Chain A
């Protein structure tokens, strides 16, 4: 019987015939924690009596969620992680380097890998044809120590997307559309496998955005076959030799096949307080926004700022709307400066924040006031997510975010370009 991507990769990494529904104990290629989940992982590592990390070169501690640290407690957590790195030789990604998932994409994940992180958006690396999934601190502590973890091999939903996006429509709109369609628990415990000519033509950056949000439908992984686009991206990162072609078998068994015509998708927005609460941007023109936040592991990449700068060039943010920009990594910031995007955004009235999670998770920077509304390019709009349970978060693409920053209300980008 043919295999899906997840069955193929887990078979290879477990040395067994991994079939949906079974258990696979797989070798872990990349394991990481961040500053919110890392301190607990370190304590569990010690508690379990481990002394050594199996693969320190590909085990990483990221200081990204509270970076730079806003208070004493989190500064002490950062110290704990720095010390753990010194003791064990694992990699440390310091304050200002960027969001874990972006750096994993830039420097660590390769096709066929098993990537596990103590962060739910670890699924992002699925864009490389990796089995990448989020777990808790204890699971990652054990995975780092033993160099392996256990999986229930998930059943797969094949998402087939064909056709061309309309002007003003981006991969973010596609994934919001899909989540709106199947629901926030529509793919719980499942793998999503993306295919079709829209996906074949899509950049790695677009695939990363989509894989990133697989977890918002409850999925364990969101996978793409690797192809020339994957290879080119790896070559640009100086990691071309890690490329392997991986595709599902033609007779792979899928639990469900969902077909989407990309040409019918319009700029889409998730309304508070769940990601599956979607509507079209053009229906929400009455919603005034006090803050636009552009960044995160979903849409904080160079192409995202290129789109935003294209829309905001020569324009100004609305007087009542703050515009916060957080590049996902130091490299993204550096490239965006070189390309002139940062200057354009500054001229439009933006505030540039250090690379990292910034305002995404309510720890520091950009916390909303009571009753305020934010339009964010992130992946989650749960109540309280950005630090204030009495505030409202809408999610959209960088194009919709840029257009809305100009008008001060939720705006379909086709209105302004």
Chain B
């Protein structure tokens, strides 16, 4: 069970907003880059996010470039999962590959700062603040196999090949 606070974002949160190009030179220094996570969407976010919190967005989260640094630094910031109405496909696949759960659900009902409990196995999100219970779409089976191993590198280390 994951427990934490919701940090709300709008729609079309691009990878440029998550990991801005002006910090390109920090890509080989992920802890430094992580200090700027989501900076151009919410300059305060990196300083207020706590380990176990959730990023909760509208639709098309993670559109744009293929930079895997985007989901990596969201995860490094302590975010337990990203919840959105929809995700851009490269971001979704990258998030799974780096072991960051990405959940598709109706995020309209979740408020800024709400206390959430997410049961990944059961597919249920409880909003303790407003008492609402939401379900999220199942992660596709092939991706769940990768996520279950903690990401693509551990998956390949264990299986040596794609056994999807």
Q: Is the CB of A146 within 8 A of B161?
A: yes
Q: Is the CB of B16 within 8 A of A136?
A: no
Within 8 A of B (CB), among A126-143: 134-139, 142
CA distance A220 to B88 in the complex (A): 10
Within 8 A of B (CB), among A383-401: 383-389
- Interface SS of chain A: helix, strand, loop or mixed? loop
Q: Establish whether residues A138 and B151, one from each chain, have CB atoms under 8 Å apart when the complex forms.
A: yes
Instruction: Tally A-B pairs: CB < 8 A.
Output: 149
Q: Does A90 make an interface contact (CB < 8 A)? A: no
Main SS at interface, chain B: loop
Q: Which of B24, B67, B151, B152 has the most CB of A within 10 A?
A: B24
For the complex, what is the distance from the CA of A226 to the CA of B90, rounded to whole Å?
26
Q: B34 CB to closest chain A CB, in angstroms?
A: 14
Which chain A residues lie closer than 8 Å to B64 at the CB level? Answer: 120, 380, 382
Residues of B within 8 A of A134 (CB): 66, 90
Residues in B neighbouring A49, C-beta threshold 8 A? 157
Interface size on B, residues (CB 8 A): 42
Q: What are some 16 contacts across the A-B interface (CB < 8 A)?
A: A40-B69, A73-B25, A80-B28, A118-B66, A134-B66, A135-B94, A136-B66, A136-B68, A137-B68, A138-B68, A138-B153, A142-B152, A363-B22, A383-B14, A384-B21, A387-B21
Chain A residues with CB below 8 A from B140, complex form: 152
**A interface, size bucket:** 35 or more
Complex: A152 Cα to B98 Cα, angstroms: 18
Given contacts A47-B153, A118-B66, A138-B98, contact A382 B29 (CB under 8 A): no
The interface of chain A, by Cβ under 8 A from chain B, is: 23, 25, 36-37, 39-40, 44, 47-49, 65-66, 70-71, 73-74, 76-77, 80, 117-120, 122, 134-139, 142, 146, 148-150, 152, 184-185, 188-189, 215, 218, 220, 274, 361-363, 367, 380, 382-389
Nearest to B13 among chain A residues (CB) is: A382
Measured in the bound complex, the distance between the Cα atoms of B82 and A99 in whole Å is 32
